[in-house]
């Protein structure tokens, strides 16, 4: 029996022969010879260890995946139609926010210096002033994400005591983070009240004991309980906490400043409303419906915010200069709702109309090769990011039906394109949604499909 046939490892090609193959030419041109050669050695070693034979198509697909994984964070074309796609970095930043980040990153900045006096200044002064103006809060803090805002609030005002939460609000968000665990990490004991679907104000009243510190209201994030449900009005909950000497905290989640009825998405509770309802502390994210960078906002009363600002966790959770610059620039855009709708990409995507989406889908269709067997179909986009899980945004999708490969194989190839293109797989079809592709990215998407099919 031939030795190569009895042991497939003997038939593995030499590295120099692989580097000379046509399939390798573009990889070397784009990635460089040394990184490609190193990845090849690792892939060959993996084949030897597994005792597998060489298949050129599978080998180069695995090689491209290995090279892509080694590159880390990079730009991606989002054709999924999910506007606030957590895995793809949530909200794209507005032009003024990008410019502000670049300006403070290229040199030094007035992060903690009062330029009038020349003395140490307030890192959060600019963002605080804007949040006061936009929400009516007494004061504010900024941390590095929404979960950090909740953790800091509980650590500062509930540690050593009890936090009262409705059973219907004990949510788990992406990555397996659960409200009971956040409460415990904040040093508080969780007291559950009511039932999954119905919690009344007396349930909170009966749970308040000598160790109670906080009444916590939690945004339901990426799910809704419908039908036979009941919950107290938020303002009544905040008033109860005030009457009984407790701190009221609302984890608002998505942090909307704009009335989303403007884009046909009513029903999302916003920052201004939570502040007006009298909560002592309101926590929210900056990179969801606000449309800014990853950040956590804490708004509320002077005394409650002061306790958070003095807590040792504050230094560990504070954001950097680039984040603050981008957040301030985004907040300035929200001074004019119409300007925010035009300039904040996430809001602009949500507001895009049916006629515009149909036109851009048709443009994409004309640029795709015949091998894509593409067609325009009606469909829906999603808001994403744990916001408005029941909302559907009507759109025009481009469905691909490739002849020589499955939709899954084409999706995998597109993820290895440069830049990677992430599409939506649904019932055996590969769908491209123009809603989440910027105007200048339609051509890039078409080129990625053409190259993947070739």
Judge whether 212 lies within some domain: yes
Shared-domain flag, residues 316 and 367: no
Judge whether 353 lies within some domain: yes
> How far from chain centre, in Å, is Cα 178?
17
47-82 pLDDT, tens digit each:
888 888 888 878 887 887 777 665 678 899 999 999
Shared-domain flag, residues 116 and 244: yes
Judge whether 3 lies within some domain: no
Shared-domain flag, residues 29 and 153: no
Q: Domain boundary at 310, 343, 376, which? A: 343
Residues contacting residue 170 through CB under 8 Å, at least 6 positions apart: 178, 179, 180, 192, 218
Q: What is the mean pLDDT of the chain?
A: 90
Mean pLDDT across the stretch 1-27? 72
123-159 pLDDT, tens digit each:
999 999 999 999 999 999 999 999 999 999 999 999 9
250-280 pLDDT, tens digit each:
999 888 999 888 888 877 889 999 999 999 9
**Three-state DSSP class for 288?**
coil
- 428 vs 334 pLDDT, higher one: 334
Judge whether 2 lies within some domain: no
Q: How far apart are the C-alpha atoms of 331 and 133, rounded to whole Å? A: 10
Q: Residue 230, class by beta-carbon neighbours within 10 Å (0-12 exposed, 13-18 middle, 19+ buried)?
A: exposed
CATH at residue 365: 3.90.1150.110
Residue 4 has pLDDT above 50, yes or no: no
Shared-domain flag, residues 153 and 299: yes
Shared-domain flag, residues 413 and 435: yes
pLDDT at position 1 is: 43
- Contact 243/265 with Cβ under 8 angstroms? no
Report the share of the chain in percent with pLDDT over 90. 69
pLDDT at position 122 is: 92
Judge whether 161 lies within some domain: yes
pLDDT at position 389 is: 74
Residue 104 has pLDDT above 60, yes or no: yes
Range of the domain at 56: 8-71
Shared-domain flag, residues 17 and 163: no
**Residue ranges of the alpha helices (H) in 186-320?**
201-207, 234-243, 271-276, 302-310, 313-317
pLDDT at position 203 is: 96
Judge whether 210 lies within some domain: yes
Name residue, tokens 């984040």.
Answer: 323
Judge whether 375 lies within some domain: yes
Shared-domain flag, residues 336 and 360: no
**Three-state DSSP class for 283?**
strand
DSSP type of residue 336? S
pLDDT at position 9 is: 61
Residue 342 has pLDDT above 80, yes or no: yes
Name residue, tokens 């099919």.
Answer: 453
Residues contacting residue 185 through CB under 8 Å, at least 6 positions apart: 151, 154, 155
Shared-domain flag, residues 332 and 252: yes
Judge whether 115 lies within some domain: yes
Tally of domains in the chain: 3
Q: Domain boundary at 343, 363, 386, which? A: 343
Shared-domain flag, residues 334 and 351: no
pLDDT-derived band at 33 (thresholds 50, 70, 90) equals confident
204-246 pLDDT, tens digit each:
999 999 999 999 999 887 677 788 889 999 999 999 999 999 9
pLDDT at position 421 is: 96
Q: Domain boundary at 287, 309, 343, which? A: 343
Q: Residue 299, class by beta-carbon neighbours within 10 Å (0-12 exposed, 13-18 middle, 19+ buried)?
A: buried
The whole-model pTM stands at 0.85
Q: How far apart are the C-alpha atoms of 135 and 297, rounded to whole Å? A: 12
Shared-domain flag, residues 121 and 237: yes
Mean pLDDT across the stretch 321-337? 97
Shared-domain flag, residues 351 and 339: no
326: left (phi over 0), alpha (psi -120 to 50) or beta: alpha
pLDDT at position 232 is: 94
CATH at residue 335: 3.40.640.10
Shared-domain flag, residues 243 and 304: yes
Among 8-17, 97-106, 125-134, 254-263, where is mean pLDDT lowest?
8-17
Measure Cα distances from 258 to 133, 143, 264, 288, 436 in Å. Answer: 14, 21, 12, 12, 20
């Amino acid at each position: 029996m031939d030795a190569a046939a009895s042991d497939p490892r003997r038939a593995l090609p030499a590295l120099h022969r692989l580097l000379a193959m046509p399939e390798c030419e573009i990889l070397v041109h784009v990635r460089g010879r040394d990184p490609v050669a190193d990845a090849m050695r690792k892939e060959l070693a993996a084949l030897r260890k597994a005792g597998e034979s060489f298949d050129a198509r599978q080998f180069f697909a695995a090689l491209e995946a290995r090279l892509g994984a080694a590159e880390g964070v990079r730009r991606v074309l989002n054709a999924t139609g999910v506007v606030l796609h957590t895995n793809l970095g949530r909200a794209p930043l507005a032009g003024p926010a990008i410019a502000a980040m670049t300006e403070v990153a290229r040199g030094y900045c007035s992060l903690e210096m009062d330029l009038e006096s020349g003395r140490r200044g307030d890192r959060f002064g600019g963002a605080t002033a804007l949040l006061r103006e936009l929400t009516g809060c007494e004061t504010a803090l900024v941390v590095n994400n929404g979960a950090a805002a909740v953790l800091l609030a509980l650590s500062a005002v509930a540690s050593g005591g009890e936090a009262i939460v409705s059973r219907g609000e004990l949510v788990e968000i992406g990555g397996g983070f659960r409200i009971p665990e956040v409460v415990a990490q904040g040093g508080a004991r969780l007291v559950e009240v009511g039932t999954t679907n119905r919690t009344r104000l007396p349930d909170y009243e009966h749970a308040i004991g000598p160790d109670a510190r906080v009444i916590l209201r939690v945004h339901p994030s990426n799910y809704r309980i419908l039908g036979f449900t009941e919950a107290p009005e938020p303002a009544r909950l905040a008033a109860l906490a005030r009457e009984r000497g407790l701190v009221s905290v609302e984890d608002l989640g998505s942090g909307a400043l704009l009335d989303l009825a403007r884009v046909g998405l009513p029903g999302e509770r916003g920052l201004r409303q939570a502040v007006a309802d009298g909560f002592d502390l309101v926590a929210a994210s900056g990179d969801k419906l606000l449309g800014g960078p990853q950040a956590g906002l804490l708004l509320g009363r002077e005394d409650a915010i002061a306790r958070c600002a003095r807590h040792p966790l504050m230094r560990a959770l504070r954001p950097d200069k680039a984040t603050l610059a981008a957040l301030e620039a985004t907040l300035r855009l929200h001074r004019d709702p119409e300007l925010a709708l035009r300039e904040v990409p996430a809001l602009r995507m949500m507001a895009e109309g049916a006629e515009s989406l149909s036109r851009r889908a048709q443009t994409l269709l004309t640029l795709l090769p015949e091998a894509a067997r593409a067609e325009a179909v009606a469909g829906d986009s999603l808001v994403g990011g744990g916001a408005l899980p029941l909302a559907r945004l009507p759109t025009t999708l481009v469905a691909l039906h490739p002849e020589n490969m499955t939709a899954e194989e084409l999706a995998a190839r597109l993820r290895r394109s440069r830049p990677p293109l992430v599409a939506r797989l649904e019932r055996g079809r590969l769908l491209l949604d123009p809603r989440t592709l910027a105007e200048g990215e339609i051509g890039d998407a078409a080129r990625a499909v053409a190259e993947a099919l070739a």
